Amino acid sequence: MRKHERTKQQQQHGSGGRRAALWFLLPPLLVLVMIKTNLLPQVARFKETGFNKLTNEMVQRVSSLGLDSARRQQQSLEAESAKEYNQQNHTLATNVAKDGSFRNSDVAPPTMSKLACNWSNRHSDTCRMEGDLRIHGKSATVYVLSSSTFNPNNSTITIRPYTRKWEQETMARIREVTIRSTAPEPYSFVIPPKCTVRHDVPAVVFSTGGCGTNFFHAMTDLIIPLYITAREYNGHVQLLVADYQPEFVAKFRPILAALSIYPIIDFDADTAVRCFPSAHVGLESHRILGINPGLSRNGYTMMGFRDFLRDVFSLPRPWATPVSRKPRLVFVVRRHSRAVTNEADAIAAVADLGFEVVAAGPEDVGDMAKIAAVVNSCDVMVGVHGAGLTNMVFLPHNGTIVQIIPWGNLKYPCRFDFGDPVPDMGLHYVEYEVNAEETTLKYKYPRDHPVFTDPLSIERSGKLWETFLEGQNVTLDIDRFREAMQQVYKSVTTE
């Protein structure tokens, strides 16, 4: 028993000694931990900085430890961008120095970024931004770094950069662009992709996915809004096109080249991370075939836009003035729906009045430079309601547009598209409304049919387009048409 008690006392004495040794070693160990983790300077400054400031600094440091996954995604994106960029055999549309000094650069502007969006316009949503902007087309993402307007509730927004937002079916075809804004440093936890290309000009991002090659929609949905948005940069702006349509770009290349001196970038296929000092996502749009100078930052007008087009296509006639020679008239000819079935008689009747007549069919209208020159040489344009009338933008100032309105109570919508915009263009407007005897619908429907007795009911049933726009041609009453054109002749030949 005494031996067991001695052994127990020795064990207790040994355990107490070890505890004493640990307490003796603990202070230097704590100091070592503080030095290794950089906590010692923090403790030393605790009284000076206060608990809140010290906590914020430690949170910022520790927070970065939880971003390994984001970094891996960022590195993967950078690798993809760099690989794609290096494989290209030509210089992309940038203002990058030839020696590559701006490439793979991640030097951010020192100023805070700003982001402002307008959701109230009936035609289009637009966002303007400036500062440290990084655009990755393939993912359709725009990063606005260190935004002074950052709001956690809307740090990520989406926008469809097209100008018919009231048409759900059209807008559904438009690719969404995501705009991500980050809080000012050092409060941001977002790791943005690094720049692989840096531009020193603004960017304009828009879509060509809604209009196809229809000249009316291309002009009112894209070209005029693009003029409003990009003209102020005098060509020093980079265009990035989502839903890229080669046919659109090819057809409108002269106009696009006048708005931007850089090759257009296919936004959807672009894997580079492009950095810009400022950018517009979406195009400003005011109204159909029109510009509201009060809404334009630079007071642009439709007359100014038409002067711009005249410069683009080197058109010689700025004004149409009364002259002793025969006034020229271009007759826009349609071949399918809304065609004039007695076209030859109508042209002959107009020629008998004293006009020199030029017929322009679809094959002529398809060549923009050609039709622009023809229209600019004329004083009057005549045609049935349709996209071809959009070529009135090439008429000289003081010219006249005569719109033939098909049967079907279409006076208001036809005037809305091609009548209302005319005064702001510096042109004169005349309309010739087809009566029930001049429509080929009389061969399809009896006179007591709603097509004749209640055309509005056809519109309410959703069949306006197929019935009145796609479903009829026009056989003009030549005597009635000649009388209307006689008045036009007098107006363009007298002061």
Higher-pLDDT residue of 189 and 131 is: 131
Does a structural domain hold residue 91? no
Give 69 or 439, the one with higher predicted confidence. Answer: 439
Residues 294 and 336 in one domain: no
What's the pLDDT band for 71 if we cut at 50, 70, 90?
A: very low
**In a shared domain, residues 358 and 483:** yes
* 334/203 same-domain check: no
Nearest to residue 123, comparing CAs of 161, 164, 162?
A: 164
From CA 180, how far away is CA 156, in angstroms rounded? 5
Q: Which of 300, 327, 353 is the last residue of a domain?
A: 300
Same domain, 292 and 317: no
221-279 pLDDT, tens digit per residue, is 999 999 999 999 999 999 999 999 999 999 999 999 999 999 999 999 999 999 999 99
- The domain spanning residue 469 has which CATH number? 3.40.50
Check residue 187 and give its pLDDT.
72
Q: Does residue 380 register a pLDDT over 60?
A: yes
In the chain, the percentage of residues whose pLDDT exceeds 70 is 77
Instruction: Supply the pLDDT for residue 131.
Output: 94
Across 92-96, 150-154, 178-182, 357-361, least confident range: 92-96
- Asked if 315 and 391 sit in the same domain, the reply is yes
Lateral strand order in the sheet of 328-332: 356-360, 328-332, 380-384, 400-405, 428-433
Q: Are residues 232 and 171 in the same domain?
A: yes
Contact present, 399 and 378 (Cβ < 8 Å): yes
Whether the Cβ atoms of residue 308 and residue 323 lie closer than 8 Å to each other: no
- In 10 A of CB 167, how many CB atoms? 13
Please tell me whether residue 318 adopts helix, strand or coil conformation: coil
Strands 126-136 and 114-118: antiparallel
Whether residue 332 lies inside any domain: the answer is: yes
Read off the pLDDT of residues 306-352 as tens digits, 9 standing for 90 and up. 999 999 999 999 998 876 689 999 999 998 899 999 999 999 999 99
Tracing tokens 């069919």 back to the chain, one arrives at: 361
Same domain, 442 and 408: yes
Q: Are residues 167 and 264 in the same domain?
A: yes
Give how many domains the chain has, as a whole number: 2
Q: CB-based contacts of 111: which residues, under 8 Å, 6+ apart?
A: 131
469 domain residue, yes or no: yes
Residues 466 and 397 in one domain: yes
Phi, psi dihedral angles at 78 (to 5 degrees): -60, -45
Range of the structural domain that residue 232 is part of = 114-185+193-300
Q: For the segment 452-492, what is each residue's pLDDT rounded down to a tens digit?
A: 999 999 999 999 999 999 999 999 999 999 999 999 999 99
Same-domain pairing of 332 and 446:
yes
Q: Cβ(353)–Cβ(489) under 8 Å?
A: yes
- If we measure between CA atoms, which residue out of 207, 192, 182 comes closest to residue 81? 192
> What Cα–Cα distance (Å) separates residue 182 from each residue in 43, 105, 127?
31, 20, 16
Domain boundary among 278, 300, 322: 300
| Mean pLDDT for the stretch of residues 410-416 | 96
60 domain residue, yes or no: no
> How confident is the model at residue 45, as a pLDDT?
42
Using alpha carbons, select from 454, 453, 387 the residue that is nearest to residue 414. 387
In-domain check, residue 52: no
11 pLDDT exceeds 60?
no
Question: What was the pLDDT predicted at 255?
Answer: 97
For 275, other C-beta atoms within 10 Å of its C-beta total 28
Query: DSSP letter at 107?
Result: -
Task: Clarify whether residues 346 and 254 are in a common domain.
Answer: no
Bridge-based pairing state of the strands 177-181 and 156-159: antiparallel
* In the predicted structure, residue 73 carries a pLDDT above the cut 60: no
Query: Average pLDDT of the chain?
Result: 84
Establish if 16 belongs to a structural domain: no
Task: Quote the CA–CA distance of 408 and 452 in Å, as a whole number.
Answer: 8
Task: Please give the residue that has the higher pLDDT: either 435 or 184.
Answer: 435
Of 300, 324, 353, at which residue does a domain stop?
300
Task: Classify residue 478 as exposed, middle or buried by CB count within 10 Å of its CB (0-12, 13-18, 19+).
Answer: middle
Tell me whether strands 156-159 and 141-145 are parallel, antiparallel or unpaired. unpaired
Beta bridge mates, 128: 116, 280
At 198, list the tokens.
């840096």
Average pLDDT over residues 191-207: 95
Residue 27 lies in a domain: no
CA distance 256 to 191: 35
Same domain assignment for residues 222 and 273 = yes
